[in-house]
Amino acid sequence: MWRGRIKVVNQQKVGVIGGGQLAWMMAIAAQKIGIELSVQAANDQEPAVAIADRVVYGKVSDAKATAKLAEHCPVITFENEFVDLEALQTLENSDRFHHAYHNFKFLPRLATLEISVDKLKQRQHFRDHQIPTPTFYAVDQESDLINAAANLGYPLVLKSRRHGYDGKGTWVIKNVEELQTAWTSIHQAPAIAEAFIPFEQELAVIAARTLHGDIVIYPVVETLQIDQVCRRTIAPARVSPAIAAEVERIAKQIMVSLDAIGVIGIEFFLTASAEVTVNEIAPRTHNSGHYTIEGCHTSQFEQLLRVVSGLPLGDVSMAVPVAIMINLLGTEGYADNDPDYLHQRKAIASFPNTFIHWYGKSSSLGRKLGHVTVCAPTYDTALAISDRIEKIWYGSSQNADTESISNKRFS
């Protein structure tokens, strides 16, 4: 039984380490193109469990569970970066799986992951390859922290080297007291201190690269952040062709220099003087690319599956004039004690050309529970609907910050 799939000869098998919403959306894309998808999930409550073809239970860092996943899949990709790289390297080199599959592999390659999962190694790689990046310092002990602050001045940014996401593990520091507080809060773990970029706008792009070196770059998008968490993505970005071209040039440079195979999300800062600087990269599908499900001819999730299974790259052009993605985060009081936010979701669904993706996760304050994509013929129409959606979900006060920056234009 194909459950609505396109039947293909020699059906491809792909494994995913992780069972969250990214793996869930990948499983939906896998059904569309006839790929058998297995996931490694921590528990049966993770979103992808209900739709994957096969589930192996184990935390993302559980290499023994990954070994079981590899028994069914000649290629394994990743939902997030919280993996045990050393253990995966041992697994990849195992004669057992090379004998079974002839060419068992992780994609992206572990060498690419080793750089991209560590913010210090990211910055060092960018510096060494003349990719624009903020001035930075490695922080391994308090004396490094003091030296970095003396050289950078305030404000500065302090980041954990690993395991930071959605603003976690990142602090914008305004004075020495805040610096000490942040350093204590990460238990003096390895970190980086870097120059604060006085950006006017944050941009992002999804890039894909095949084993043969073919590259496609999705449209450049704007991301609007509140409390260091992405609230909204606007596609395509309201920037000049010259800025879009520079972002695309840097994205291609990153993909080639990393020898990246798969899909990578890349975040950028844009200053008032039109300078583009790389903020961070994520070696996987990315929140800034969720709009591609309805907004582009090929979603980022289908594209990743195409790359790792050897299928031709899909069309990355926009399928609609404008698409805006709004993240639906858990709110204070859990929407009047309704963990499923049914009233809000019903109201949002009443808007035309609006698509809700509900992950089925338990609610907690600030947790990503779902997202909604608005497709429209113009920016004005899409922004007006997006503002109304955010007012329904977050209320007037939390919506004010986004509304105040919705109509900014950059050249």
Contact 70, 95 (CB under 8 A): no
Number of C-beta neighbours around residue 212 at 10 A: 8
**Cβ-count burial of 148 within 10 angstroms (0-12 exposed, 13-18 middle, 19+ buried)?**
buried
Q: Can you say how many angstroms the Cα of residue 6 is from the centroid of all Cα atoms in its chain?
A: 28
Query: How many Å apart are CA 320 and CA 407, to the nearest integer?
Result: 20
**H helix and E strand count, the chain:** 14, 18
Q: How far apart are CA 248 and CA 286, in angstroms?
A: 17
How big is the CA angle at 81 (ends 135 and 159), to the nearest 5 degrees? 30
Which residues sit in the known binding site for ATP?
119, 159, 194-197, 202, 279-280
Task: Give all strands of the β-sheet with 54-57 in edge-to-edge order.
Answer: 54-57, 36-41, 13-17, 75-78, 105-106
* Residues facing 282 on adjacent strands: 265
The count of other CB atoms within 10 Å of the CB of residue 275 is 14
> Where would I find the beta strands (DSSP E) of 95-175?
105-106, 136-139, 156-160, 170-173
Q: Which two tokens stand for residue 388?
A: 């109304």
Could you give the 3-state DSSP secondary structure of residue 136? Answer: strand
Q: Residue positions in the annotated binding site?
A: 119, 159, 194-197, 202, 279-280
